């Protein structure tokens, strides 16, 4: 039960923060979903840092990982919003933005995770 509460609390915090960032950065005045892109990249970086610490010190508690990685990052990052944004691009026929957003999110997200691991290894 404790683990479920940790995931619940972390997810609530992450989802609330994602909402705030998306509210300000996914504005109709922009042609690009900057908020969704930002939370997915930052979440990937954070997962990389957590994974890096796990590799390095082998002492992160399971409760910490559940709260931050599963709960917070799970609530903070958003594949459903990413998919929705892409469907809007496809529906409007904006295949260039679709390709840039999809490729950019995947490449930058993976790169951020690797940078997170690297940061822990060298600092």
> 67 lies in which domain range?
13-20+34-122
**Per-residue pLDDT, 54:** 86
3-state SS, residue 58: coil
For residue 2, tell me if it sits in a domain.
Answer: no
Q: What is the pLDDT of residues 95-122, one digit of tens each?
A: 999 999 999 999 999 999 999 999 998 8
For residue 8, tell me if it sits in a domain.
Answer: no
Total number of domains in the chain: 1
For residue 71, tell me if it sits in a domain.
Answer: yes
For residue 5, tell me if it sits in a domain.
Answer: no
Using a pLDDT cut of 90, give the percent of the chain over it. 85
Residue ranges of the chain whose pLDDT lies below 50: none
- Return the number of other C-beta atoms located less than 10 Å from residue 104's C-beta: 13
For residue 74, tell me if it sits in a domain.
Answer: yes
**Residues 6+ positions from 77 with CB-CB distance below 8 Å:** 14, 18, 39, 40, 43, 44
């Amino acid at each position: 039960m404790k683990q479920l509460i940790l995931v619940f609390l972390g997810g609530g915090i992450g989802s609330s923060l994602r909402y705030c960032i998306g509210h300000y950065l996914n504005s109709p005045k922009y042609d690009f979903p900057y908020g969704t892109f930002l939370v997915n990249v930052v979440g990937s970086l954070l997962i990389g840092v957590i994974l890096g610490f796990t590799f390095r010190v082998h002492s992160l508690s399971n409760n910490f990982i559940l709260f931050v990685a599963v709960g917070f990052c799970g609530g903070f990052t958003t594949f459903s919003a990413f998919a929705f944004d892409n469907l809007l691009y496809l529906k409007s026929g904006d295949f260039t933005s679709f390709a840039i957003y999809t490729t950019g999110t995947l490449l930058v997200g993976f790169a951020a995770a690797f940078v997170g691991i690297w940061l822990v290894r060298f600092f």
